[in-house]
Structure 1
Amino acid sequence: MKKIKTALLSYGMSGQVFHAPFLELHDGFELTGSWERSKKLIQTDYPNVKSYASLEELLADDIELVVVNTPVETHYEYAKKALLAGKHALVEKAFTTTAAEAEELNAIAKEKGLKLTVYQNRRWDSDFMTVKQVVDQNLLGDIVEAEFHFDRYNPLLSPKIHKETANAGAGVLKDLGPHIIDQALYLFGYPEAVHGDVRITRENSLVDDWFDISLYYPDKRVRLKAGFFVREAIPAYIVHGKKGTFLKQRGDIQEDVLKTGAKPNRTDWGTEAAEKEGLLHTEINGEVVRKNIPTLQGNYYALFDGVYEAIAENKTEPVTAEDGIKTMKVIDAAYASSEQKKIIQL
């Protein structure tokens, strides 16, 4: 199997938790190192890799794939430099700060024949995968409405300065928003219009920390919400169809397990506790049923499988730049809608 030499643009929580463990596990990748600005940590965990002193040094090395896992406001600049240097790129969410930036990166990648992938790992969360299975199997009939939440109870400001400083990449709409926006578009397609309400609710916050977005489709409405003052969460996924309802709480364990330092595997990885199974209440073959649905196994490894196949076998990226552009267009529209207090047509 061809090894794709891969470098990270930072080795903080994102590099340590979401990228390096999977690059190490996957037979198709070779982790060459990471750009490290102050703390030099990667060689403690991976002694045989490099710690690059600058982006220029990293891009000059013999690598094929660059993981852009730096703060959102830097994604456009760093991804552009990587593409212009002839490297494939895997870019964290939010893809960029605007749809226009995303479109420019896509154009560069197409022109140079490079693969540009958006890191939307939440498509492979166990909870969302189970919701998608229920919808795809038409267990609810025609979907009328859906509501996705990414709620937390955390009134304190983040210690990560870039997350709380007013800049083009900060705010919950560009932090948690891309997760559930991408999931909604992946499941239901691109909407006709967007209504957004974006607010600041925490004391002394300089960035948005609450949003309520409605996606308008000809036959359904999809509501997306996130906030930091939800002490008792409702189901994260609520889907109503003409035959029934499916409710699923957020339950994917992968992030929490990775944060303990545990390494992913290919067997029981991403298996939720049985008590978090979703509730299906619907009609099947003329009979009303109300039962729990076993949760599918989550696995971020599948995203890296897709990235490998895109580069090594010239297949379509698992999350395309076009997907990322659509998510950014929804985010741009949500901000415009909130400011103008009107529905924005897409």
Structure 2
Amino acid sequence: MSEIEVFLDEQPGETRGMIARNGHFETLLIQRETDDPTHRLGARAVGRVVEADPGLGAAFVDLGGEPPMGFLPFAKAAPLRVGQAIEVEVTAEPHERKGPALRLIGPAEGDPRLLKPGASVAEDLARLAPGVPVQTGVAAVQASWDAEEEALADGDFYAEIGLDLAVQRTRALIAVDIDYVGLPGRDGRKGRTAANRLGLVHAARLIRLKRWGGLVAVDLIGTGHDAAIVAAEARAAFGADPDVAPDIAYGPLNRFGVFQLALPWRRAPLEDVLNGWDGRQTALTRTLSIVRRLRHAILSDTTIPRLVMHCAPAEAVLAAPLVARLGPRAGLKPDPGVLPGRSDIHEA
């Protein structure tokens, strides 16, 4: 029986939820107070059709919030007209500069506005891991760091089974490379078979943790595989995510030992949440990170009367209202000698 751990890290400005199974993280949820609520997965809103393209079979919808506009595929039998008010639900959050994907609920009246927000992090955790106790405090802060580090890695090495796994995304697809490092005294054929099976499991977990969708090409070890067995193992691995399982399209296993499938987009990919268009962490991400570090220090040692965080002046401006919400034991000092993204914590 697998061991599941659930963590909820709530801090000023951001809430994170993490789920780990057998010591490996598989879910990282992030919601920020600055996020547009009309773009959150599951949100319902009244939107207004700005553009309808019968050739594209879709409409662009103003949701009343921040750009980009929503994207709504529509059936040829039910075309929409420009200016029409409709009720929609977000089925996929924005990614790669694309707006949220929408599902048509029906006609509506009035100006664009949010009707019902998407689920909170706590609600999603309860749905994905029902009945599992939720850990908070220091353990949750540490889990937040660990899950982010694991999600941003390009793969991992699992020494106990000799599995060397690489998971990378390009503009066209997600490439998964499963490799095997022979272990002394172990049957090589059985080892490769186990590495392929567990490689699919961990590839699915890492892709889920990174919050990716799109075409996936899995390069298995060797050739001449039993296609039915590989397909069943892939379905068990990738279908473990209840949010996407019904919409996964499984492709063939080719003669080169490459298995293909297509995953639906649901949440904004982690790199889009943390980074700007230049691929670097945004000022908000850096600020939330140093506030989390101060909060961790406060929670770790309750005997220290007051802790003051020294950070770069530009980040101190963003951090000041967040640090104030940590309570009287938290202080902030702009320090030109501290590099952006860094912080020093001192006892007052």
More strand, by proportion: 2
Structure with larger RCO (C-alpha < 8 A, sep 6+): 1
Settle same-fold status: TM greater than 0.5.
Answer: no
More helix, by proportion: 1
- TM-score, with length taken from structure 2: 0.22
Larger radius of gyration: 2
- TM-score, with length taken from structure 1: 0.23
